[in-house]
Structure formats: C-alpha cells, structure tokens
Amino acid sequence: MTKKDIIVTPLKEIETPGGNVLHAIKSVEATFKGLGEVYFSWIEFNFIKAWKRHNRMFMNLVVPVGNVKFVFFNESTNEFRVETIGEKNYCRISVPPGIWFGFQGIDSPKSLVVNISDILHEPTESDRLDLKSINYYWESF
C-alpha cells in the first residue's frame, strides 16, 4: 500500500432548499471501475468493524450520514493510514483490492457507510481477521 493506492476525493455538497444534494461518484471519474453493486452499512457509535481485505473488489467508500474513521493496514511495511470522512469531511475513499481495513463509527447514534463496488459481493472473495490480529489502538470517542 502506497499513498497513491488509496485515493481520497473531496465531494460536492450542493445546498438546496429543504435539504442538500450529496454527490458520490460519476461514471467518468478515474476511480469508477464499473458497477457491481452499491451497498450500505450502518456503524454504531464507537463500534469497530475490522479487519477485512477484498481480493478482487475495488471499493469507493462514502459516508453521507455521520462520521467514520477508516484504518488501512500495509502488511509489508507494517504501516497504517487513517482517513476520517463523513458530514464533517465529505469525501470518497477509493480503495483497490488487497488492502486490510477496518472502520469505526465516531458519531452518535450511528453513521452510514456506502460502498460503490465494481463487482458483486461474494463471501469467498474477501479475507477476515479478528480485531486483535492487527495491532492497532482504536481510541474511544
């Protein structure tokens, strides 16, 4: 994992009467690799979902509700990269396959993660590790 592997893209929030419009991704963007599916995942405040590595899926992650801390782990260098996105920092994180990651809800009561993936979800396509398998200190908020 290098800095160029994971791309963070600021997203537009367009103010409109009655509620804003939030962009997520356009098909003409370089990080759009095709559409397999879009799925949503709620994460409760201070809850941690970790560790997972997709072997073929390219993820585009957006948090339209709340705020979420994402942690990416490079096995070969033992280095972490942390990105916090959501309503306070509205961005998209584009993640290629092969990178361990976890995430933590940092807004009460819960936050919503959207994954715009290039392939359909297949349970055998990803690997999982127990939370304590990778030595990272998850702080409480």
Number of domain units in the chain: 1
Confidence of residue 141 (pLDDT cuts 50, 70, 90): confident
pTM equals: 0.93
Question: Is 86's pLDDT higher than 80?
Answer: yes
Write out the residue range of the structural domain in which residue 69 sits.
Answer: 7-132
Q: What pLDDT was estimated at residue 92?
A: 98
pLDDT, tens digit, for every residue of 65-76?
Answer: 999 999 999 998
pLDDT, tens digit, for every residue of 95-113?
Answer: 999 999 999 999 999 999 9
Question: Is 3's pLDDT higher than 60?
Answer: no
Residues 38, 115 contacting (CB under 8 angstroms): yes
CATH number reported for the structural domain that contains residue 118 in this entry? 2.60.120.10
In a domain, 23, yes or no: yes
Judged by phi (left if over 0) then psi (alpha if -120 to 50, else beta), residue 114 lies in beta
